[in-house]
């Protein structure tokens, strides 16, 4: 079993005829993800990925004709909010928005619309997710993964890759790896993903990769302290040396006063039973120190 994506994923790629969309769609298809449709307005009737994937003008047509249940969005920032809403309107249940640079104010009503529709948005500005051996949606490199039972959730794309590669090199496989995105307004939080992992019988340990800014890590830690007491939990917080008030990398990675600091996050995570790594390469050893025997 896995969370959000798996063998039952039927993916439509919004923006499949663009450079980024086509490049990453090829990688997803090569991994074994069932890409059943592409969608680009005005390109309906064409076929993408060497003729293997039909392209539609609208999401409604793509879903009706192919039974797609998951979307991956490679649409420029100006059109991405509407792309998300169109996917929701067509009945897509799980949407991954890879697009970066979407204004936070544009995302506020979109996130609420997704919630009211009962759908799931991951992102924006996220790398997607991989369920090793089952499906890959987004831009996470396939080569870093190993099938296993450790769930990984992260705000950072590149730190995810580094941490997962370290785990794989140590023989520790993953159940699902999810990048939730580093923007201030996102559709799926750490807490949301931890709840999904708790319900997954094949996830037996957790790795959380956070960064300075906001309170999402502290909220997840408080919940984990009550609900995830009996599994190995490891975390890493990026940005420990960031000056106060300075944004570092992600739009959400900014601290103000005493809120959102690395120290406050580390304290909360340790109190919840997480072993907190000093670098991503320490994660495999800390998993085993925490009792993980996989």
Quick check: is 64 catalytic? no
Sign of CA dihedral 222, 236, 253, 85: negative
**Predicted local distance difference test score (pLDDT) of residue 248:** 53
Instruction: Give the pair of three-digit tokens for residue 113.
Output: 């619309």
Q: Are 113 and 86 in contact (CB under 8 A)?
A: no
| Residue 214, SS3 per DSSP | coil
What pLDDT is recorded for position 245? 56
CA count, 13 A, side-chain hemisphere, 170:
21
Q: Which CATH architecture has domain 11-122?
A: 3-Layer(aba) Sandwich (3.40)
Q: What is the pLDDT of residue 33?
A: 98
Distance CA 144, CA 220 (A): 26
Q: Which part of the chain is CATH 3.40.50.720?
A: 11-122
Please tell me the predicted confidence (pLDDT) of residue 244: 58
Question: What DSSP string describes 222-251?
Answer: HHHHHH-TTSEEEEEEE-TTPPTT---SST
Task: Tell whether domain 140-289 is in CATH 3.40.640.10.
Answer: no
Whole-number Å distance between alpha carbons of 130 and 247: 28
**Beta-carbon neighbour count of residue 187 at 10 Å?**
25
User: Residue 180: its pLDDT value, please?
Assistant: 98
| CB contact set of 65 (below 8 Å; sequence gap of 6+) | 37, 54, 56
Q: How far is CA 62 from CA 47, 68, 76, 81, 145, in A?
A: 12, 7, 20, 18, 30
Domain with CATH 3.40.50.261 in the chain: 140-289
**DSSP strand pairing (128-131 vs 174-179):** antiparallel
Out of 64, 145, 227, 250, the active site residue is 250
Q: Give the contacts of 34 (CB within 8 A, at least 6 positions apart).
A: 9, 10, 11, 135
Could you say which residues of the chain have pLDDT below 70? 1, 240-259
């Amino acid at each position: 079993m896995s969370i959000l994506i798996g063998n039952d994923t039927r993916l439509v790629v919004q923006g499949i005829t663009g450079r980024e969309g086509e490049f990453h769609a090829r990688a997803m298809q090569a991994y074994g993800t069932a890409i059943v449709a592409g969608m680009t307005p005005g390109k309906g009737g064409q076929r993408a990925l060497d003729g293997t994937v039909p392209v539609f003008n609208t999401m409604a047509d793509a879903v009706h004709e192919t039974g797609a249940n998951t979307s991956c969005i490679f649409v420029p920032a100006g059109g991405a909010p509407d792309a998300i809403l169109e996917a929701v309107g067509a009945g897509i249940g799980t949407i991954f928005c890879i697009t970066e640079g979407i204004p936070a104010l544009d995302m506020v009503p979109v996130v609420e619309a997704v919630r009211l529709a009962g759908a799931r948005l991951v992102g924006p500005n996220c790398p997607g997710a991989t369920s090793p051996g089952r499906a890959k949606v987004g831009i996470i490199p396939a080569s870093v993964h190993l099938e296993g039972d450790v769930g990984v959730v992260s705000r950072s794309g590149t730190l995810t890759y580094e941490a997962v590669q370290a785990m794989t090199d140590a023989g520790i496989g993953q159940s699902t790896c999810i990048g939730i995105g580093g923007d201030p307004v996102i559709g799926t939080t750490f807490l949301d993903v931890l709840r999904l992992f708790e319900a997954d019988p094949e996830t037996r340990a957790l790795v959380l990769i956070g960064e300075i800014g906001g309170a999402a890590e502290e909220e997840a830690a408080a919940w984990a302290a009550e609900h995830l007491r009996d599994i190995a939990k490891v975390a890493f917080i990026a940005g420990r040396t960031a000056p106060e008030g300075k944004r570092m990398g992600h739009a959400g990675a900014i601290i103000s006063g005493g809120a959102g600091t690395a120290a406050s996050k580390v304290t909360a995570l340790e109190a919840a039973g997480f072993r907190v790594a000093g670098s991503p390469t320490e994660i495999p050893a800390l998993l085993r120190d925490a009792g993980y025997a996989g």
